[in-house]
Amino acid sequence: MSTTKEIPYKIYLSENEIPTKWYNLRADMKNKPEPLYHPGTHQPMTAEDLKPVFCDELIAQELDDTTPYIEIPEEILHFYKMYRPAPLVRAYYLEEKLGTPAKIYYKFEGNNTSGSHKLNSAVAQAYYAKKQGLKGVTTETGAGQWGTALSMACAFFGLDCKVYMVKVSYEQKPFRREVMRTYGASVTPSPSMETAIGRKILEEFPGTTGSLGCAISEAVEVATSTEGYRYVLGSVLNQVLLHQSVIGLETKTALDKYGIKPDIIIGCAGGGSNLGGLIAPFMGEKLRGEADYRVIAVEPKSCPSFTRGTFAFDFCDTGMICPLAKMYTLGSGFIPSANHAGGLRFHGMSPVLSQLYHDGYMEAVAVEQTSVFEAAEEFARCEGILPAPESSHAIRVAIDEALKCKETGEAKTIVFGLTGTGYFDMVAYEKFHSGEMTDYIPTDEEIAASVAKLPKM
Amino acid sequence: MSTTKEIPYKIYLSENEIPTKWYNLRADMKNKPEPLYHPGTHQPMTAEDLKPVFCDELIAQELDDTTPYIEIPEEILHFYKMYRPAPLVRAYYLEEKLGTPAKIYYKFEGNNTSGSHKLNSAVAQAYYAKKQGLKGVTTETGAGQWGTALSMACAFFGLDCKVYMVKVSYEQKPFRREVMRTYGASVTPSPSMETAIGRKILEEFPGTTGSLGCAISEAVEVATSTEGYRYVLGSVLNQVLLHQSVIGLETKTALDKYGIKPDIIIGCAGGGSNLGGLIAPFMGEKLRGEADYRVIAVEPKSCPSFTRGTFAFDFCDTGMICPLAKMYTLGSGFIPSANHAGGLRFHGMSPVLSQLYHDGYMEAVAVEQTSVFEAAEEFARCEGILPAPESSHAIRVAIDEALKCKETGEAKTIVFGLTGTGYFDMVAYEKFHSGEMTDYIPTDEEIAASVAKLPKM
């Protein structure tokens, strides 16, 4: 281990350094996250209960909170080699522009056609569905990154793929639909008239622009009522964080190669998939008392589940047909203001991350979207990558922390997750450029009203 | 050198293997390409003649046909490290899907926000403009890749950037404009009312969807009539092929590492920047009699300058204000049919490549756009990269050659250039999916009528 080695602009691992095992952070948690609860009986759900919704092997992963490492199947590793290892980039240009003594690194997960880290879990979920002999899967997508990732994975394994896309994103991102179509998926704007829950929501809120929670309800309804189909989800679940641990494992291997120990690790947090994956091995060390890191989750002020939500059991979906998860939540009926273009629109948060936050292992910061797009543009101009709005939440706070270092003169090492690219977010960028982008912060009353409808346990 | 080493999915060079010199193919050509000729006097243009249009150092590179290697300035190397080295990918998934014994490799130049190889020359041209103390540069863009690349480079060096974008692309790719705007460029649909030549063309052809030739005229007019501005061009010119040689040099280094000798090298050809860069070091060997390779240029049937054009002096622009180049051309008044969505719309071809083609050093094939999009979709589904329509011309012929190998049982090594990604081409993909895409092949009469207007020398 040497700290004097010159750090390249991009640290690429070789293909045989792609992790061959996922790391299951829960195994190292003393306070385990609560399991999913049955929405009817309010009892922990068994594998049998979950069978109509999820693939068998994914249920096993969902419930396993003791095995620290889980072998990645050969077929998934074969697919990972299509776009992994992902580079860990030293942000030399950004550091120079900011004039900060901080050393900034970002793990860039956008170098694949889905444009984000979501592919890491999509390929795993599609693989297990295929292995089980299923015909297809259903899912929801917000910004469209998860839907695109799943379409790619399904095309590869020859599975049918039905995507329910949050209506506001469907309209703002017409080309996302076409990419999914290139990969053979069907894409329906949600809420739709195709499902009972969609029809009910449309009747109640005729002008609604949709929400992830509502799209989830529709996808689950279709999966459980169609022979040979299961539902898959791109975030929140334990299994997803497990698959996403490849991000953190690669990051740690790359840092270790150069003897670099991060002081601060930053990630955007919607459902928590990227943040959970990025921090996994570092948080493992922290839980085991082997090292300490500041870990910061960044969320939008318009959907502040960590910073203004309640730690409680709640539905993962608006339709209240999904299992209950114990998590930080704004209430399953919470729908972010329509002017919000920055992604990360989910009302809740991964139970794993919620537990860690509750237990004081990480911090959370909420930021306004105009300041997020400012950071995005600054980053794009000097680092040459057009970031997704979601990822730009992490950029915002990384820049803020680097500027604090400038004031104090500290040369801290900051690592953040750059989850994806913004090629399909140009409507939002256009709003920002034309000065039409506004910020919205929900009132205490709005949040209280939504939280008041949490299920009584 | 070993041929038994296992070939990784992606061959990444290290940063110190980025070429530090560009290779100037002209130095090894016995029949040099003709220099640019003055449109008025019909005499070879001197550096002095070119000064109002181009930066001084770029003029020197344009005229130098004897120096084989030209040092890459440190500042440009610094920028190259933002996105280079680019990976050379072994197309394992595609080979498996085709069931071919052929070994297919592609040099992927799309892993940067401009989405293509164009950045390689954009940064060089912006750097030299800045070094000369200029205020800004003007240019044209068709598909938008060059304009995006130039915007990125100008933002980095703090130069103003005025882009004239072919109207049909401006309308088909609204988000391209927004990316350029993110990088601070101004973007005007061409033909425009801002220039004398634009007004003249609009008067003559009121409904025109524009052409590269016409956008070039506008950009040159503005550059030569505005203090502190010069014109820069993303293709065709000798200097551009020189800068793009980094593609071929990296490709050759990667192949040499594993003892791989390509049998066939394939690239799409619009103005020739990618193909000229990709083949440079290989063609050098061929010219020096050290090795032999089949080199195939692929162009659209709707704009077939190599396969149906004439080798003659012609204007590079519709307005006939630019210098004359000796090249394969369809006539500077040739505008591809409006139904053409596949890019590569330029009426002429790089003088370097034209001379090589004329002298029998390379082949050319023209393909229909529907077959190009079929290849694009097949490639996207198994290789996981959504290719640009331009790049997909090369994919089409690479697949065709690989299928010939399947018939004959030959295990040929095929290398092609994957110049970029298709994220901003979803309107074209949508046309293809909906069955609205048609093919158009110009008649002999159309081409003859256009070629009849070539300048008399």
**Token pair for A19:** 């992790």
Q: CB-based contact (8 Å) between B42 and chain A?
A: no
Distance set, CA B252 to CA B91, B185, B258, B283, B414 (Å): 17, 35, 10, 11, 13
Weakest mean pLDDT among A230-239, B165-174, B194-203: B165-174
Of B8, B182, B429, the CB nearest to A386: B182
Q: Say if B157 is an interface residue toward chain A (CB within 8 Å).
A: no
Nearest-angstrom CA–CA distance, B456 and B2: 55
pTM across the whole model = 0.95
**Residue in B with minimal Cα distance to A77:** B9
The helix (H) or strand (E) run that includes residue A33 is: none
Query: Across the interface, do A182 and B156 touch by the CB < 8 Å criterion?
Result: no
d(CA B425, CA B435): 16
Q: What does the pLDDT read at residue B457?
A: 83
Q: A423 vs B426: CB contact, 8 Å cut-off?
A: no
Residues in B touching A181 (Cβ below 8 Å): 429-430, 433
Residue A457 lies in a domain: no
Nearest CB to A178; choose among B14, B384, B433: B433
Q: Considering only residues 245 to 304 of chain A, which have any Cβ-Cβ distance to chain B shorter than 8 Å?
A: none
Answer yes or no: do A100 and A173 share one domain. no
Eight-state DSSP code of residue A15: G
- Shared domain for A180 and A242, answered yes or no, is no
Which residue from B381, B119, B258, B279 is spatially nearest to A157, judged by alpha carbons? B381
Report the number of distinct structural domains present in chain A: 2
Distance from CA of B138 to the nearest CA of A (A): 19
Band (B135; pLDDT cuts 50, 70, 90): very high
In chain B, residues with a C-beta closer than 8 Å to the C-beta of A386 are 113, 179, 182
Q: Do B113 and A380 touch (CB under 8 A)?
A: yes
**Of the candidates B231, B262, B278, which is a domain's last residue?**
B231
Judge: A380–B156 Cβ closer than 8 Å, yes or no: no
For residue A156, what is the enclosing H or E element? helix A145-157
Alpha-carbon distance A457 to nearest alpha carbon in chain B (angstroms): 45
Asked whether residue B318 falls in the same domain as residue B402, the answer is yes
Q: What is the structure's pLDDT at A342?
A: 81
Could B423 and A426 be called an inter-chain contact, meaning their C-beta atoms sit closer than 8 Å?
no
B181 and B107 together in one domain: no
Q: Which of A93, A182, A426 sits opposite B377 (nearest CB)?
A: A182
In the beta sheet, which residues pair with residue B416? B106, B266
pLDDT tens, B44-67?
999 999 999 999 999 999 999 999
Q: Residue type at A415?
A: V
Q: Do B9 and A182 touch (CB under 8 A)?
A: no
Cβ pair B382:A113 closer than 8 A: no
Among A166-175, A187-196, B227-236, B447-456, name the one with the lowest average pLDDT: A166-175
Domain CATH code at residue A196? 3.40.50.1100
**pLDDT value for A335:** 84
Distance from CA of B327 to the nearest CA of A (A): 35
In this structure, the number of other CB atoms found within 10 A of the CB of residue B400 comes to: 16
Instruction: Encode pLDDT of A75-111 as tens digits.
Output: 999 999 999 999 999 999 999 999 999 999 999 999 9
Looking at the complex, report in whole angstroms how far the Cα of residue A430 sits from the nearest Cα belonging to chain B.
6
Nearest C-alpha in A relative to B154: A381
Q: Does B380 touch chain A (CB under 8 A)?
A: yes
CB-based contact B140:B218 (threshold 8 Å): yes
Beta carbons of A93 and B111 less than 8 Å apart? no
For residues B185 and B315, state if they share a domain: no
pLDDT for B4: 47
Judge: B179–A426 Cβ closer than 8 Å, yes or no. Answer: yes
Q: Say if residue A141 is in the same domain as residue A219.
A: yes
d(CA B63, CA B124): 16
Residues B381, A433: C-beta atoms closer than 8 Å: no
When mean pLDDT is compared across A249-263, A347-361, B2-16, B229-243, the lowest value belongs to B2-16
Spatial separation of the C-alpha atoms in residues A348 and A235, rounded to whole Å? 11
- Distance (Å) from the C-alpha of residue A7 to the closest C-alpha of chain B? 11
Q: Is the pLDDT of residue B188 over 50?
A: yes
Q: Does A96 touch chain B (CB under 8 A)?
A: no
- Count Cβ–Cβ pairs < 8 Å, chain A vs chain B: 110
Helix or strand run (H / E) with residue B140: strand B136-141
Band the pLDDT of A2: cuts 50, 70, 90.
very low
Which of A83, A183, A427 minimises the CB distance to B381? A183
For residue A258, what pLDDT band results from cuts at 50, 70 and 90? very high
Cβ–Cβ contact A153 with B under 8 A:
no
A402 shares a domain with A369: yes
pLDDT at B5: 62
CA angle B249, B251, B255 (to 5 degrees): 120
Average pLDDT of chain A, as a whole number:
95
Residue A14: its chain B contacts at CB < 8 A? Answer: 8
Beta strands across the sheet bearing B363-367: B10-11, B88-90, B103-108, B413-418, B264-268, B294-300, B363-367
Asked if the Cβ–Cβ distance from B426 to A174 is below 8 Å, we say: yes
In a domain, B122, yes or no: yes
A54 pLDDT band, cuts 50/70/90, is very high
Q: Which helix (H) or strand (E) holds A108?
A: strand A103-108
Question: What pLDDT is stored for residue A5 in this prediction?
Answer: 62
Same domain? A39 vs A134: yes
CB contact (8 A) between residue B385 and residue A113: yes
Q: What residues pair up with A265 in beta bridges, in sequence order?
A: A295, A415
Cβ of residue B426 closer than 8 Å to a chain A Cβ: yes
Is pLDDT of B455 > 90?
yes
What is the reported pLDDT for A155?
96
Q: Does B182 touch chain A (CB under 8 A)?
A: yes
Instruction: Tell me, yes or no, whether A213 and A286 share the same domain.
Output: no
Q: Look at residue A318 in the predicted model and tell me its pLDDT.
A: 79
Residues A55, A94: one domain? no
In this prediction, residue B336 carries a pLDDT of 85
Domain contains A1: no
Nearest neighbour of B93 by CB, restricted to A82, A181, A384: A82
Domain's final residue, options A178, A210, A231: A231
- The answer to whether residue B14 neighbours chain A at the CB level (below 8 Å) is yes
Question: Residues 197-256, chain B: which have Cβ within 8 Å of A?
Answer: none
Q: Quick check: is A152 in a domain?
A: yes
Nearest-CA residue of chain B relative to A373? B182
Q: How confident is the model at residue A337 (pLDDT cuts 50, 70, 90)?
A: confident
Question: Nearest CA to B426 among A115, A187, A179?
Answer: A179
The strand order across the sheet containing A10-11 reads: A10-11, A88-90, A103-108, A413-418, A264-268, A294-300, A363-367
Mutate to test the interface with A, among B178, B186, B392, B427 (most CBs of A within 10 A): B178
Mean pLDDT of A394-399: 98
Backbone CA torsion sign across A368, A374, A379, A380: positive
Q: Answer for the pair B37, B351: CB distance below 8 angstroms, yes or no.
A: no
Reported confidence tier of residue B322, pLDDT bands at 50, 70, 90? confident
Closest approach of chain B CAs to the CA of A431, in angstroms?
10
- Taking the Cβ of residue B108 and every Cβ of chain A, the question of whether any pair is shorter than 8 Å is answered with no
Give CA separation, A402 vs A87, A104, B73, in Å: 21, 8, 30
Residue B28 lies in a domain: no
pLDDT at B6: 87
DSSP A412-454: -EEEEEE-BB-TT-HHHHHHHHTT--------HHHHHHHHTTS
CA atoms A12, A13, A19, A22: torsion sign? negative
In a domain, B184, yes or no: yes
B175–A175 CB contact, under 8 Å: yes
Q: How many CB atoms lie within 10 A of CB A441?
A: 13
Query: Can you give the pLDDT at residue A173?
Result: 81
Tell me, yes or no, whether B221 lies in a domain: yes
Q: Give per-residue pLDDT as tens, B336-386.
A: 887 888 889 889 999 999 999 999 999 999 999 999 999 999 999 999 999
Reading the block at residue A421, the tokens are 């690219």
CB of A109 within 8 Å of any CB in chain B? no
> Is pLDDT larger for residue A342 or for residue A182?
A182
Question: Could you tell me what percentage of chain B is helix, strand and coil, using 3-state DSSP and rounding each to the nearest 5?
Answer: 45, 15, 40
Nearest CA among A320, A316, A306 for reference residue A234: A316
Nearest CA in chain A to B113: A385
* Cβ atoms of residues A269 and A344 within 8 Å: yes
Where is B358: in which H helix or E strand? helix B351-358
Same domain for A41 and A14: no
Query: Is A392 a domain residue?
Result: yes
Residue B29's contacts (CB-CB under 8 Å, 6 or more residues apart) are: B65, B287, B352, B355, B356
- Closest residue in A to B84 (Cα) is A10
User: Which candidate in A10, A180, A392 is best for mutational testing of the B interface (most B CBs within 10 A)?
Assistant: A10
Residues sharing a CB contact under 8 Å with residue B411, sequence separation 6 or more, in sequence order: B101, B102, B103, B405
**Is the predicted pLDDT of residue A112 greater than 80, yes or no?**
yes
- Give the DSSP letter string of A284-322: HHHHTTS---EEEEEEETTS-HHHH-EEEEEESSTTS-S
> Closest Cα of chain A to B422: distance in Å?
9
- Judge contact between A358 and A235, C-beta under 8 A: no
Contact A457/B at CB under 8 A: no
Contact B156 A82 (CB under 8 A): no
Give the end of a domain, one of A184, A206, A231.
Answer: A231
| Span B261-281, pLDDT tens digits | 999 999 999 999 999 999 999
Dihedral angle sign, alpha carbons of residues B15, B17, B21, B24: negative
Measure in Å the smallest separation between the Cα of B176 and chain A Cα atoms. 8
A15 touches B at CB < 8 Å: yes
Identify the residue whose tokens are 């994957």: B418
Q: Which of A386, A395, A427, A430 to mutate: most B Cβ within 10 Å?
A: A386
Nearest Cα of chain A lies from the Cα of B117 at a distance, in angstroms, of 14
Tell me the C-alpha to C-alpha distance, in Å, between residue A330 and each of A209, A322, A362, A383, B20. Answer: 18, 16, 19, 35, 55
| B427 and B410, same domain (yes or no) | yes
Q: How far is CA B440 from CA A190, B300, B395, in A?
A: 39, 10, 20
- Over the stretch B73-127, which tens digit does the pLDDT of each residue have? 999 999 999 999 999 999 999 999 999 999 999 999 999 999 999 999 999 999 9
B158 touches chain A (CB under 8 A): no
Do B222 and B197 touch, CB atoms closer than 8 A? no
Residue B334 φ/ψ, nearest 5 degrees = -75, 125
The domain containing residue B410 runs over which residues? Answer: 10-19+84-115+237-451
- pLDDT by residue (tens digit) across B155-184? 999 999 999 999 988 887 888 889 999 999
User: CB distance A82–B383 less than 8 Å?
Assistant: yes
Q: What average pLDDT does chain B have? A: 95
* Higher per-residue confidence, A176 vs A367: A367
